[in-house]
Structure 1
Amino acid sequence: MQIITNFKFMFSFFVLCVVINKMLNIVTFFISKKNVSIRQPYRLFSRSDLKISQTEDIVEHLFSMLEEWGYKNPTISESLEEIICYKNNIATVMYYLQDKDGVIGSESLYSIVGKVRAKKINHCIIVTTSQFDSKCINEIKSIKKSGMDLKIIDGTELTKLIRENIEKQILAEGVF
C-alpha cells in the first residue's frame, strides 16, 4: 500500500512540474517582445551566426576580446575595419575582414601589411569571417620572418572566441 501511495505522490509531483514548465513557457512567450524565448540570445553561437551578424556586433566582441588579452584604449576607424590598440605601450592594429567569397587571398593580405607598415606599426592581428587560402598562409610565414608580429584569426577561430566571450558575459550577468 505504501508503494502505491509513493507512486501516486511521485506521479502527481511529475505532472505538477510539467504543468509549471508549460505555464512558464507561456509566460515567457507573452513577456518577450519578439515572440521568442528569453533564452534565445544565450544559445550556442555558430559559424552561420557569424555570417549573418552585423559588423557592429562582431566588432563589439572583438573589443571585449582585446581587453581580455590585455590591450588598452582600442580605437576604431569609421569603416569598422581597423582597430588600433595598445599593449605595454606598443601599438597593435587589428583588421576585421568580412569576405563574402569565403576565402581571403594574398592580395588582401599584402594590402593590409602595406597599411600597417605605412603606419610604422609592427604588430598586426587580421580577423576574418571566412578563411585564408593556402598561398596566404605561406605568405604569412614569410611576413613573420621579415619582423612583423602578425596573428591571424579565421572564421572558425573567431566563432570559438565569440562563443567563449558570450559564455563569459552570461556568467558575469549571473544568468545561470
Structure 2
Amino acid sequence: MKGVKRSGRLGLSLLMILNKIRDTEEFSSLNLPKDYLDNLSANAPQDVLDVLARVVAVLLRKHHVSENEVQDFVSQIKERHMSDLFANFKATVNVQEERRIGRKIGQKIGQKIGQKIGQSIGEETKLIKLVCNKLQKGWTAEKIADLFEEDLGYIQKIIEAAIEYAPDYDADKIYAKLHDEHGDAIEA
C-alpha cells in the first residue's frame, strides 16, 4: 500500500510539472534539484512518463525542433533520465531561438539587398530610357555622356544594345541584353 501511495504522489508531481510546462519559457525556468528529478523519474509510473514524453514532444515540435532531437528527448524520458532532459532542453530551446532570430535577421538583410538591387535596376533602366530619348533626337554618344555625366564607354554600350530595338527602344529588353552579354552588370 505504501508503494502505491508513493507512486501516486510521484505521478502527481510529474503531472504538476507537466501542467507548469505549457511553453518553453516556463519549461526553461524550472530549476528543480537534480536528485528530485532523478527520484521522480526512477519511481514514476510508466503511463505518467508516457504522457510526459508526448507533451514534451508536442512542445518541441511547436518550436520546430528537428524530429531526431524530439526523439532523443522522448527516449530520455522513457529511459528515466529526467535531469539530463531538463539540461538538454534548455540548450535546445536556446539554439532554436537563435535559429529563429537568425532567420529573421537573414530576411531583413535579404529585403535590404533586394531593395538595393531593385533601386539599381531602376536607376539603370531610367538612364537607358533617357539615352534612348536622346538617340531619337539625333544626339551623339559623346553629347549624351557629357549631359548625364556618365562614362562614354558605358553610354556606348547602352547605345549598341539599344540599336537593335530602334525605333521603339524597349528599355527592359535593352537592360536584359546588356546584362546577358556583359554579365551581371555593365561597368560604368
How would you bin the TM-score normalised by the shorter chain? under 0.3
Q: Which has the higher contact order (CA 8 A, sep 6+)?
A: 1
Q: Which has the higher strand share?
A: 1
Q: Which has the higher helix share?
A: 2
User: Scaled by the length of structure 2, what TM-score is found?
Assistant: 0.23
